[in-house]
């Protein structure tokens, strides 16, 4: 196992659920991340889906003790480099391209690349990847699909993301090839908008209590 794979697993093994955040206002990033960390969710994926995302990553990386800031929805090399410069300690992509694999190979920051089919998983295995994001999890076949992959593609671990909630997270976490899941339910937009950080901490603690 490569050093980068070990570093990525060290992050993903911190908790059963990685929060997947869409941060609209950079000012909310620090209190939001602190609320998640207080509930036991230290690894935090901030998606590059808003203009505030890079600043949010920078603030969380610099100001939130105990947080491990990561960047999601990375689509190209430029975004990869920007996210690393902002302080991301892990990078997540919804799929994979040759450009992404090339920039990831040159970076010490580990990539969690997205895959949705057996062929995509096999292609990434050929590139040395052992830990993948399964996305979009529910739409691509759910826990039953991942269970079916566990034997023919033994040795590959997944972080399923997409359509996962408290109601179905255990279906995934019970599988031998799932290291953790990604979910947005721990930071609902309405709680962020009303700055209900205590409510988010409660949701984070509930998620952190889920076991593989």
Q: How far apart are CA 17 and CA 60, in angstroms?
A: 18
Task: Kindly report the backbone phi and psi dihedral angles of residue 181, in degrees, each rounded to the nearest multiple of 5, phi listed first.
Answer: -125, 160
**136 upstream amide cis, omega within 30 of 0:** yes
Tokens standing for 95?
């799929």
Q: How far apart are CA 73 and CA 210, in angstroms?
A: 25
Are the CB atoms for 186 and 17 separated by under 8 Å?
yes
Kindly state the DSSP code that residue 109 receives in the 8-state scheme: S
- Residue listed under structure tokens 């962020």: 192
The number of residues in the chain equals 212
Q: How far apart are CA 28 and CA 152, in angstroms?
A: 44
Are the CB atoms for 103 and 77 separated by under 8 Å?
yes
Q: Cite the active site residues.
A: 45, 133
């Amino acid at each position: 196992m490569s050093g980068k794979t070990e570093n990525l697993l060290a992050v993903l093994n911190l908790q059963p659920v990685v929060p997947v955040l869409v941060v609209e206002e950079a000012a909310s990033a620090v209190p939001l991340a602190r609320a998640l960390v207080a509930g036991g969710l230290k690894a935090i994926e901030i998606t590059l889906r808003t203009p505030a995302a890079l600043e949010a990553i920078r603030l969380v990386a610099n100001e939130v003790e105990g947080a491990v800031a990561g960047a999601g929805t990375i689509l190209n090399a430029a975004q990869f480099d920007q996210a690393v410069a902002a302080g991301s300690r892990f990078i997540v992509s919804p799929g994979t391209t040759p450009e992404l694999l090339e920039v990831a190979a040159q970076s010490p920051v580990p990539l969690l690349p997205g895959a949705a089919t057996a062929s995509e998983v096999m292609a990434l295995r050929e590139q040395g990847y052992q830990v993948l994001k399964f996305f979009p999890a529910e739409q691509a076949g759910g826990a039953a699909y991942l269970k079916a992959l566990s034997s023919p593609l033994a040795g590959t671990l997944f972080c399923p993301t997409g359509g996962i909630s408290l109601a179905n997270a255990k279906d995934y976490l019970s599988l031998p090839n799932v290291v953790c899941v990604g979910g947005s339910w721990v930071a609902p937009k309405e709680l962020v908008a009303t700055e209900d950080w205590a409510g988010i901490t409660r949701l984070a603690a509930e998620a952190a209590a889920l076991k593989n």
